[in-house]
Structure 1
Amino acid sequence: MTRLDTLSARGRDFLGSTHAIMAGAMTWVSERNLVSAISNAGGFGVIACGAMPPHILDAEIAATKALTDRPFGVNLITLHPAMADLIAICGKHDVSHVVLAGGLPSGAAIEAIKATGAKLMCFAPTAALAKKLVRSGVDAIVIEGSEAGGHIGPVSTSVLAQEILPVIRDVPVFVAGGIGRGAAIAAYLEMGASGVQLGTRFAAATESVAHANFKRAFVRASARDALASVQLDPRLPVIPVRALKNAGSEAFAAKQREIANLVDAGTIGLAEGQLQIEHYWAGALRRAVVDGDIESGSLMAGQSVGMVTSVMQVAEIIDELVGEAEAALSNRAA
Structure 2
Amino acid sequence: MLESTAQAEASFEALTRRGREFLGTRHAIMAGAMSWVSERNLVAAISNAGGFGVIACGAMPPELLEREIAATKALTDKPFGVNLITMHPALEELIQVCVRARVGHIVFAGGIPSAAHIRAAKENGAKVIAFAPAFVLAKRLIKSGADALVIEGSEAGGHIGPVSLTVLAQEILPYITEVPVFVAGGLGRGEAVLGYLEMGAAGAQLGTLFAAAAESIAHENFKKAFIRAAARDAVPSVQLDERFPVIPVRGLVNDGTKRFMRHQAEVLKKFQDGALDKTAAQLEIEHFWAGALRRAVIDGDIESGSVMAGQSVGMVTEILPVADILAGLRAQAVA
TM-score when normalising by structure 1: 0.94
The yes-or-no answer on 1:311 pairing with 2:307 is no
Q: Secondary structure at the match of 2:30?
A: strand
Task: State the 1:167 CA deviation.
Answer: 1.1
Cα RMSD between the aligned structures? 1.4
User: Residue 213 of structure 1 is aligned with which of 192, 214, 221?
Assistant: 221
Q: 1:165 to 1:86 in 2, by over 3 A?
A: same
Distance 2:207 2:133 in 1: 18
Q: Is the Cα contact below 8 Å between 2:296 and 2:302 reproduced in 1?
A: yes
* 1:252 partner amino acid: F
Deviates more, 1:236-245 or 1:70-79: 236-245
Task: State the 1:52 CA deviation.
Answer: 0.5
Aligned to 1:244: 252
* 1:267 partner amino acid: L
Task: State the 1:105 CA deviation.
Answer: 1.2
Q: Secondary structure at the match of 1:179?
A: coil
After superposition, give the CA deviation of every residue in 1:202-261 in whole Å (9 maximum; x if it has no partner).
000000000000000000111111111111111122221111111011122223234434
The yes-or-no answer on 1:130 pairing with 2:133 is no
Q: 1:172 to 1:277 in 2, by over 3 A?
A: farther
The yes-or-no answer on 1:55 pairing with 2:66 is no
Task: State the 1:116 CA deviation.
Answer: 3.1
Runs of 4+ in 1 over 4 A off after TM superposition: 261-264, 272-279
Q: Is the Cα contact below 8 Å between 2:115 and 2:145 reproduced in 1?
A: no
Distance 1:307 1:67 in 2: 29
* 1:125 partner amino acid: P
Q: Secondary structure at the match of 2:221?
A: helix
Aligned to 2:32: 24
Give the 5 Å matches for 1:56-205.
56-205=64-213
Consecutive unaligned residues in structure 2, runs of 5 or more: 1-8
* 1:54 partner amino acid: P
Aligned to 2:4: none
Aligned to 2:17: 9
Task: State the 1:304 CA deviation.
Answer: 0.3
Q: Percent identity?
A: 66
Task: State the 1:269 CA deviation.
Answer: 4.2
Task: State the 1:278 CA deviation.
Answer: 4.4
* 2:276 partner amino acid: T
Deviates more, 1:274-283 or 1:79-88: 274-283
Q: Is the Cα contact below 8 Å between 1:35 and 1:46 reproduced in 2?
A: yes
Q: 1:278 to 1:313 in 2, by over 3 A?
A: farther
Task: State the 1:92 CA deviation.
Answer: 1.2
The yes-or-no answer on 1:294 pairing with 2:302 is yes
Paired residue total = 326
